[in-house]
Structure 1
Amino acid sequence: MDNGGNALDFGNLKVVSALGRGAKGLVFLAKTYEGQWLALKVVSKALIRMRNSSHRKRVSFEQQILRRFNHPLLPRLRGVLETEELLGFAIDFCHGGNLHSLRRKQSEKTFTVDAIRFYAVELVTALDYLHNIGVVYRDLKPENILIQESGHIMLVDFDLSKKLNPKSPQSVSAMSSPSSDSALLLDRRKRLLPGFCYCHSGVIPLDSDSQLGMNSPARSESDSVEKSNSFVGTEDYVSPEIITGEGHNFSADWWSLGVVLYEMLYGMTPFKGVNRKNTFQRILTKQPDLTGETTPLKDLIKKLLEKHPDRRIEVDEIKCHDFFKGVNWNSVLQIARPPYIPQNDIEDKAGFSRKDVESFVHKVFFKNDSHKEDKTKETEKKKINGANRNNIYDKNQNTVWVNKLTEKPTKNGDFLVF
């Protein structure tokens, strides 16, 4: 298969089971008739029509960005799929699950320092590649860090990513004045953080000795590119500058790396609050609790979790940090030995038809509506439950049977505002 050149359909693809869901789509395990295992991500066209054109643009953007990748730690587009009701695309399937599930399998629900170093090196390498092609990832979290059959990582899910363009005099001028979109984002943040006062530069605590960056030196690897003002990410991992709306660029990914490393070391995220609003407040005001003796890893985390992006450690300093002493960055992928090699134990089951998959996707996102385009109310509400993992769709009961998909994705998931 070439890199995205193939059109997929249910005539050359067998859908085996559901793997998980997001706010806008579902991911299935599928197999080509040549024997290649794929992760197939699909979205409902009806859901796109209900919302706005940006959702279709995000699907298109993700496909375009996957076509650009040529890196062993990033996915490749293996084909695209379209039916009357679905849009989708496929990437290679990762046999080892994700870093979140792997951490929870550890005896103390944390990784050893050596394991953290291995995954950290690969994360820095992958993010450095993305930044070099002008892409800010914006959704780094353990659930998006998959383990390949080889034991190496693969970053997935790029629908929140953004291409940052080089600055021009016109773009600098435009960024200096607030737009109507910025006003909408500001209003959203006011509702999330009512205890803060706002100005065009962002959010400032009312007791305001902790104003960010009033006299900080301008130092950023990304000074030459535009900044994004999108309010986007996953709440535990989002950087302060995204919350405040001051504009963010590649440095936001290094903040998220600090959160991921903290979680790998301590088994929890550093700023988790009782709700989203409280989490955001803690991200803006609280310092990470790096308990125990000082170590190079804790020092790296502290420098990654610097609240002002212009003072945050970036790629050259990260690679030279004591935690990575002795790492040969030019050959790390050739000589590194992964701490975990997954077992290839995929169960090859009977496939599901196009109609089964379309009906399944529809019932996940339109539980109270019929399958028809006019969305007439069903006489009875269908209930999603997780009684049986082995069947994604029971034709007799007409019910979804995937317990991974019962939780609403917004419970601890992504938020997205353009």
Structure 2
Amino acid sequence: MCRSDFDFVRTLARGQFGIVDIVRSKHNKGVYAMKTLNKQALLSQREQAAFLEERDVLVLGKDSPWIPDLYASFQDKENLYIVMEFVAGGDLFSMLDRCENAVVDEEAARFYAAELVLALEDLHTIGYIHRDCKPQNTLLDASGHVKLADFGSCARIDAGGVHEAKTSVPVGTCDYIAPETLRARETGGSGTVSPSSDWWSLGAVLYEMLYGDPPFYSDSVPETYAKIMACERHLAFDDSVTVSDAAKDLMRKLLVPQEMRLGLAEIKTHPFFATVDWRTIRSQEAPFVPRISSPDDTSNFSVGDEAEDDFGMATARASSSRLGHGREYAGEQLPFIGFTYLPSALV
């Protein structure tokens, strides 16, 4: 399988290591999301780039309704490619962007938060922490239900249920990063994170759905980090916004230092979720059902007019001379051995 087996439809997103394009298979005419990751960019930032973890999560999570389906992963000398289910309902960020004051009512917030709990539970069950849970990575399917996305920051947890972070750079997005993740930078690039870090992010997403901004938002990243590190002092609730005491209590118990934070069982039994039927929520009608006009409809995403020919590869190409012509298994390629996964009939 190779990139030329697909026709480019549109660029959906651009990230630090590559891009996500909507593509159509030349063989079965199916529409997919193809993530293209530049190998040189990945190798230059190994501390942050979890490309094997991303592929492994998609493989191990194949039975989870909360994780997009993986159809194939392959590579060439310059890039890695992940071909996934295209979840056409948009994402939570785009949905909030279309709402008045960028907020939803508490019933809707409860629904999305509950589905995120179940998605993160499945991810933790297969042995991974997400580390970048946020509205942009919370996709909505054709029925309006959640699919967790972008596992490029995932970390494998050990038998003790933790991950020893060895990085001088915080992994994740600044408004949703847990304080223990930031603390790794202050301790010489080492520290322990656990699934609890994702529950912090859940609290931040819930807050944003109800108040319109992340809880520690600031105009500068350093100030946001400072507020997160002193979260107990800086967490505040706008009295002009009507939010229940139960919702505030849950957020107070998630947006706290790790040792004080609620765990999965406590979250699911919290009064805020008292009306949630955890077993049947995915079969219930979602608060928002997206309009999808065609299999390749991207109108539910906040996408700029930046699509290019040739898969929009201007930001994802690497110089062939740096990798070496005809050196498929040169030293630069060794970290990518085992990435290829071809279980489906796309060819």
Distance 1:357 1:59, change over 3 A: farther
TM-superposition CA deviations, 1:133-154 (whole Å, max 9, x none): 2211100010001111121111
- Aligned-residue offset at 1:63: 1.1
**Match of residue 210 from structure 1:** none
> Is 1:248 aligned to 2:198, yes or no?
no
SS at match of 2:19: strand
More RCO (CA 8 Å, sep 6+): 2
Partner of 1:209: none
**Partner-residue secondary structure (3-state), 1:19:** strand
Q: Which residue of 2 aligns with 1:155?
A: 148
Aligned to 2:255: 305
Counterpart of 1:296 in structure 2 is 246
- The alpha carbon displacement at 1:304 in A equals 0.8
- 8 Å CA contact 1:76–1:91 kept in 2: the answer is yes
| Aligned-pair CA distance for 1:24 | 0.3
Shift, 1:45, TM fit: 3.3
Paired residue type of 1:342: P
Unaligned runs of 5+ residues in structure 1 are 1-6, 168-221, 350-354, 376-418
Cα distance change of structure 1 residues 53 and 145 upon mapping to structure 2, 3 Å threshold? closer
Residue 39 of structure 2: which of 38, 42, 45 is its match?
Answer: 45
Answer yes or no: is 1:320 the counterpart of 2:257.
no
1:258 maps onto 2:203 in alignment = yes
Instruction: Give the SS at the match of 2:265.
Output: helix
Which residue does 2:58 correspond to in 1? 66
Deviation, structure 1 residue 17: 1.1
Name the aligned partner's letter for residue 228 of structure 1.
A
Q: Corresponding residue for 1:273?
A: 218
What is the aligned-residue identity percentage? Answer: 31
The residue that corresponds to 1:134 in the other structure is 127
| Cα displacement string for residues 287-308 of structure 1 (whole angstroms, at most 9, x for unaligned residues) | 31113365211111111111x2
Cα RMSD after superposing both structures: 2.5
Alpha-carbon distance in 1 for matches of 2:118, 2:295: 33
- Please report how far the alpha carbon of residue 284 of structure 1 lies from its aligned counterpart in structure 2 after TM superposition: 1.3
Q: Does 1:330 align with 2:250?
A: no
Question: TM-score when scaled to structure 1?
Answer: 0.66
Q: Is the 8 A contact 2:34 2:84 kept in 1?
A: yes
Q: Distance in 2 between matches of 1:289 and 1:314?
A: 22
| Counterpart residue number, 2:342 | none
**Matches of 2:15 and 2:135, distance apart in 1:** 15
- Which AA in structure 1 matches 2:223? N
User: Is the contact made by 1:95 and 1:343 (CA closer than 8 Å) also made in structure 2?
Assistant: no
2:153 matches 1:232: no
Label 1:53 to 1:101 Cα distance change in 2 as closer, same or farther (>3 A): closer
Please tell me whether the aligned partners of residues 229 and 248 of structure 1 are also in contact (alpha carbons under 8 angstroms).
no
Which structure is larger by alpha-carbon Rg, 1 or 2? 1
CA contact (8 A) 1:229 1:242 kept: no
1:228 and 1:249 in contact (8 A); partners too: no
How many residue pairs get aligned? The number is 298
Q: Does 1:98 align with 2:91?
A: yes
Structure 2 stretches of 5 or more lacking a match? 185-190, 298-307, 324-347
Question: Secondary structure at 1:300's aligned position in 2?
Answer: helix
TM-score, length of structure 2 as denominator length: 0.79
* CA shift for structure 1 position 54: 6.1
**Residue matched to 1:187:** none
